[in-house]
Amino acid sequence: MTGSLVIAGLGPGADALVTPEVSVALAAATDIVGYIPYVARIPPREGQKLHATDNRVELDRAKHALEMAMSGQRVVVVSSGDPGVFAMASAVFEALEGWTDAQSLDIRVLPGITAMLAAAAAIGAPLGHDFCTINLSDNLKPWPVIERRLRLAAQADFAMAFYNPRSISRPAGFVRTLDVLRQECRGAQLISFARDVSTPEQHILTVPLAEARAEMADMRTVVILGNTATRRVGRFVYTPRSVA
């Protein structure tokens, strides 16, 4: 079996943040598979086919990639950020379950810089101590699960990074998130909104939790809530490395 499958992270947006390892894999690929806006980031190359598909078809996309690799192609499945963080690596391995023949393929996962880490760097160091990451989309998990995780993380005083905070189809979700956080956290805790991180349109806003509004976030925004020790130093926000 001569085909291969690479699951690669394209980073948060800037070309400079695509790792050299990923760039080499993209250059060697016969086929690139991914969500439409991510595939659009790949410059066309002669002899290379781009397979862009819509959102919410991750398993179909993964199966298609595996089928092409099984037939001998060098396939790269692309995600933004890191492929193992709310992205395609998990979908590929889910598709691989029970498919014994495909499990002998040459499969590699190549890490990428996540939007969360790029946002944290732009803000300063808000994730300088223990933190957690929560996807606020309820497409693949029910809201009660999200709310329970929010409350427990807040009670444990984790800094928190939120993906997919507010979409057109579910604008109320982030309103409810802020309500839960205000119930469990201090209103003075700092919350940062990082939109279009690493691109020329990057915009960073930090306010006290009590002043946060749902309209400050959309699907191109990573939201980071500091813990009770998180504070400002000049134009930066950081969380100390020690706990009193």
- Asked if residue 193 and residue 155 are part of one domain, the reply reads yes
What confidence category does residue 170 fall into, taking pLDDT thresholds of 50, 70 and 90? confident
**CA distance from start to end of the chain:** 57
Q: Is residue 65 part of a domain?
A: yes
**What is the per-residue pLDDT across 171-185, written as a single tens digit (0 to 9) for each?**
888 999 999 999 999
Q: Is residue 85 part of a domain?
A: yes
243 within some domain: no
Gyration radius of the chain over CA positions: 19
Q: What pLDDT does 56 receive?
A: 78
86's torsion region: left (phi>0), alpha (psi -120 to 50) or beta?
A: left
Same domain, residue pair 49 and 67 = yes
Question: Chain-wide mean pLDDT for the chain?
Answer: 95
Residue 55 clears pLDDT 80, i.e. is over it: no
The total number of structural domains in the chain stands at: 2
Alpha-helical segments (H) within 125-238: 143-155, 172-184
User: What is the average pLDDT across 203-222?
Assistant: 96
The pTM score is 0.93
Pick the last residue of a domain from 95, 113, 131. Answer: 113
Q: Provide the residue range defining the domain that includes 88.
A: 4-113
More confident residue, 168 or 211: 211
Which pLDDT tens digit goes with each residue over 224-234? Answer: 999 999 999 99
Assign residue 20 the CATH number of its domain: 3.40.1010.10
The reported pLDDT for the residue numbered 139 is 86
Q: pLDDT per residue over 80-105, tens digit each?
A: 999 999 999 999 999 999 899 999 99
- Work out the average pLDDT over 44-50: 93
Stretch 48-72: mean pLDDT, rounded? Answer: 93
Same domain, yes or no, for 71 and 168? no
Q: 150 falls in which pLDDT band (50, 70, 90)? A: very high
Q: Residue 167 in contact with residue 137, Cβ under 8 Å?
A: yes
Closest among 115, 137, 136, 138 to 127, alpha carbons compared: 115
List, for residues 190-208, the tens digit of each pLDDT value. Answer: 999 999 999 999 999 999 9
Nearest alpha carbon to residue 108 among 22, 6, 25 = 6
Question: Is residue 52 in some structural domain?
Answer: yes
- Is the confidence at residue 54, as pLDDT, over 90? no
Together in a domain, 68 and 127: no
| Domain match, 93 and 166 both | no
CA distance 219 to 120: 17
CATH number, domain with residue 193:
3.30.950.10
pLDDT computed for residue 1 by the predictor: 56
Distance CA(154)–CA(146), nearest Å, equals 12
Q: b/e map of 149-162 (b: 16 or more CB within 10 Å)?
A: bbeebbeebbbbbb
* Cβ proximity of 88 and 7 under 8 Å: yes
Task: Please spell the DSSP secondary structure of 90-150, one letter per residue.
Answer: HHHHHHHTT-TGGGGSEEEEE----HHHHHHHHHEETTSSSEEEEE---SSS-HHHHHHHH
Judge contact between 17 and 11, C-beta under 8 A.
yes
Domain boundary among 93, 113, 133: 113
Classify residue 244: in a domain, yes or no: no
Which of 62, 89, 113 is the C-terminal boundary of a domain? 113
Same domain, 188 and 102: no
Name the amino acid, one letter, at 91: A
In terms of Cα–Cα distance, which of 179, 121, 191, 122 is closest to 147? 179
**Same structural domain, 140 and 104:** no
Neighbours of 103 (CB within 10 A): 12
